[in-house]
Amino acid sequence: MSTTHSERLRELLEPLVSSQGLDLEEIAVDSVGRKRVLRVVVDSDTGADLDQIADVSRALSAKLDETDAMGEGEYTLEVGTPGAERLLKEHRHYVRATGRLVKFQLADGDELVARILKADDEGLDLEVPGVKGRRPTARRLAYPDVDKARVQVEFNRKDKNEKEEEA
């Protein structure tokens, strides 16, 4: 059974990322002309701040320098977070997106935009926004019914604390 380059890199780097209190979300090696770029995406339940990104970047760079994991050629290491409109793939991603508005591509071909209220082992409790003055409705969505899910950016979103203060 052959192991891909990305899988070998994951095996090498994941313990370092975990030791920094972060999850290794994604690894990609891209060729840009003659140069290679190693992109590493990290996150945690509370997010990752710039200091954590810098610390993990230094640790990964040192580990890569002491091994031949990237080969002899020159490469650039980029470490970052998933971004605001992150794709939800793992259970932990859905848990982290609780309270957020998400666009779902459903397995039956339909599209749904709803707020995640709760994520458990079987699926999601959602609040579907009302249309034309109607009240929001509750909906249960099982994970197998989700083909793709992506967090939506909300510019006018009120934080939970603001809503509680207004009540």
pLDDT digits (tens, 9 = 90+) for 61-84: 999 989 888 888 888 999 998 887
- Spatial neighbors of 82 by CB under 8 A, at least 6 apart, are 25, 26, 41, 43
Q: How many residues does the chain have?
A: 167
- Predicted local confidence at residue 157, as pLDDT: 63
Number of domains in the chain: 2
pLDDT digits (tens, 9 = 90+) for 26-74: 999 888 788 889 999 999 888 888 999 999 999 999 999 898 888 888 8
Distance of CA 63 to the CA centre of its chain: 24
Query: Please, which pLDDT band fits residue 18 given cuts at 50, 70 and 90?
Result: very high
Query: The domain spanning residue 104 has which CATH number?
Result: 2.30.30.100
Range of the domain at 126: 91-166
pLDDT digits (tens, 9 = 90+) for 148-165: 999 998 887 655 544 444
Tell me the pLDDT of the chain averaged across its residues: 87
Query: The domain spanning residue 52 has which CATH number?
Result: 3.30.300.70
Examine residue 85 and state whether it is found in any structural domain, yes or no.
no
Which amino acid is residue 106, in one-letter code? Answer: L
Claim to verify: residue 13 and residue 75 sit in the same structural domain: yes
User: Do 78 and 116 meet the contact criterion of CB atoms below 8 Å apart?
Assistant: no
Examine residue 86 and state whether it is found in any structural domain, yes or no.
no
Which amino acid is residue 36, in one-letter code? Answer: R
Claim to verify: residue 61 and residue 124 sit in the same structural domain: no
